[in-house]
Amino acid sequence: MNTVKEMDLKKDLLAGQTVAISGWIRTNRAQKEFGFLNINDGTTLQNLQVVYEESLENFSDVQKFRVGSSVEILGTLVLTPEMKQPYEIKATKVTLLGDSLENYPIQPKRHSREFLREVAHLRPRTNLFNAVFRLRSVAAFSIHKFFQEKGFIYFHAPLITGNDGEGAGEMFTVTTLPLDNPPRDEEGNIDYKKDFFAKKTNLTVTGQLEAEAYALAFRNVYTFGPTFRAENSNTQKHASEFWMIEPEMAFTDLEGNMQMAEDMVKYIVTDVLKQMPEEIDFFDQFVEKGLRSKLESLVASKFNRVTHKDAIQILKDSKVKFENKPEFGQDLATEHEKYLTEVHFKSPVFVTNWPKDIKAFYMRLNDDNETVAAVDLLVPGSGELIGGSQREERLDMLIKRMDEMGVPKEDLEWYLDLRRYGGCVHSGYGMGFERLLMYLSGVENIRDVIPFPRTPKHAEF
């Protein structure tokens, strides 16, 4: 007897042999003299059909086994090339391991994604979320493979920090002070010197600043971990806790930064297409029609490049009546990104040299004194996927920018030291992992690509 997993049946069909398999019942079609169990053991998207007959000693019990129950099957593997499924198991023994109550929420019918978020602890047992979170696992490992093959050092940025790397101020405070009566200083402000870390600390919004320190020792590093935003946003693309991929590269300018981003995206998409044909076909059929061709087109395409100024001019010249009028010096709206990628360029596009007033303090000021060496990667069907820049390596210019933008220097003296002691041209970018998963799967809501999503007023499980 071979104890097997469903995934192994595809690799090495054990036709005619006795096998044992454990899993959960997806459906139980009981008939008078026989029945069919659809079993999934979690190792593959596909279910395994198990045929049981009245010769089983507990046949009448098996007929009543409910959806969601865990079972162990002993039986013979039979090839069925004339059927919809290539093989099935003819059961000789069916053992109930864990019963499932009648009110099990995931019944064999179509459930809305809104409902399934309410039972997020059970939703991975559905086909959609089985595929989504299998994709999440494969894509995460693919990211690590890409950077490891290129000799990058994997760097763990701190989750608790005293600085605001983005300058947005929308951060979660970390404190052990009593919230009902916190200690106050002479001015009446909360006295963080009496807090656990003796200063005000927050959950990080980015690991970039710390990654820069390590890039200036190891040359090429990357972070891949959770980040947090206390932004009261309820859009389909925003979450309060999400994962970021942030490479940082010494001796690399903006052009090299863009090339690395392009190589990374193509590598991950290629790897996912190769490793997950069933899941991609599932997404293509049930989530986003044409997904596979979209992904294959991205791999085959050359990513275009356009300056922010030229992008705005393209939008103005298009004669399209946008809801948000494109303006020089202003950010791009979703409809603008859609036009650039899907109508004008018909490909992914890097938008470079952004107005300095709408970008972060650490981005390198260009010679025109109006723009910074920043870049956003826009992709068809998803919009912004990556944001990055060449970092400001000139100490005097960095201090000037921090003063202009009101960024306090006292907590960032260590960051300024990176320019004082052997600084060099360096660049990096950030990609939200969930944004990538939405692009790869066609799933349009970030809440459906995070196992247990955290959004404003929602922190269940």
How confident is the model over 91-118, as pLDDT tens digits? 999 999 999 999 999 999 999 999 999 9
- pLDDT attached to residue 360: 93
Amino acid at 278: E
- pLDDT attached to residue 348: 95
- pLDDT attached to residue 99: 97
Q: What pLDDT digit, counting tens, does each position of 41-79 carry?
A: 999 999 999 999 999 999 999 999 999 999 999 999 999
Count of C-beta atoms within a 10 Å radius of residue 167: 16
Q: What pLDDT digit, counting tens, does each position of 272-281 carry?
A: 999 999 999 9
User: What's the CA gap between 359 and 372, in Å, rounded?
Assistant: 8
Angle of helix 254-275 versus helix 433-441 axis, rounded to 10: 50
> Is the pLDDT score of 451 beyond 90?
yes
Among 450, 452, 445, which residue's Cα sits nearest to residue 113? 445
User: What's the CA gap between 30 and 186, in Å, rounded?
Assistant: 76
Cβ(320)–Cβ(383) under 8 Å?
Answer: no
Residues written for the chain:
461
Q: Tell me the sheet residues that pair with 80.
A: none
User: What's the CA gap between 442 and 132, in Å, rounded?
Assistant: 10
Mean pLDDT of 217-246: 94
In this prediction, residue 8 has a pLDDT band, given cuts at 50, 70 and 90, of: confident
In this structure, what token pair is assigned to residue 332? 């791009």
Among 23-32, 80-89, 284-293, 302-311, where is mean pLDDT lowest?
A: 80-89
> Is the pLDDT score of 338 beyond 90?
yes
In this prediction, residue 12 has a pLDDT band, given cuts at 50, 70 and 90, of: low
459-to-117, 167, 239, 261, 449 alpha-carbon distances in Å: 12, 25, 11, 33, 16
Task: Kindly give, in sequence order, each residue whose CB lies less than 8 Å from that of residue 169, ignoring residues fewer than 6 positions away.
Answer: none
- pLDDT attached to residue 163: 79
Task: Kindly give, in sequence order, each residue whose CB lies less than 8 Å from that of residue 15, ignoring residues fewer than 6 positions away.
Answer: 77, 78, 79, 87
For tokens 């990538």, what's the residue? 436
DSSP letter at 458 equals B
Share of the chain above pLDDT 70, in %: 98
User: What's the CA gap between 261 and 143, in Å, rounded?
Assistant: 11
More confident residue, 382 or 338: 338
User: What's the CA gap between 314 and 343, in Å, rounded?
Assistant: 11
Per the prediction, the chain carries an average pLDDT of 94
Q: Which ranges in 221-307 belong to alpha helices (H)?
A: 254-275, 277-286, 291-300
Record the pTM.
0.94
User: What's the CA gap between 76 and 95, in Å, rounded?
Assistant: 15
- pLDDT attached to residue 4: 80
Share of the chain above pLDDT 90, in %: 88
More confident residue, 37 or 162: 37
User: What's the CA gap between 245 and 432, in Å, rounded?
Assistant: 6
> Is the pLDDT score of 247 beyond 80?
yes
User: What's the CA gap between 113 and 451, in Å, rounded?
Assistant: 13
Count of C-beta atoms within a 10 Å radius of residue 235: 11
- pLDDT attached to residue 166: 65
Q: Helix (H, G, I), strand (E, B), or coil: what is residue 219?
A: coil
- pLDDT attached to residue 83: 85
- pLDDT attached to residue 178: 95
User: What's the CA gap between 20 and 94, in Å, rounded?
Assistant: 10
Q: Residue 257 half-sphere exposure, CB side, CA atoms within 13 Å?
A: 32
- pLDDT attached to residue 169: 62
Mean pLDDT of 403-429: 94
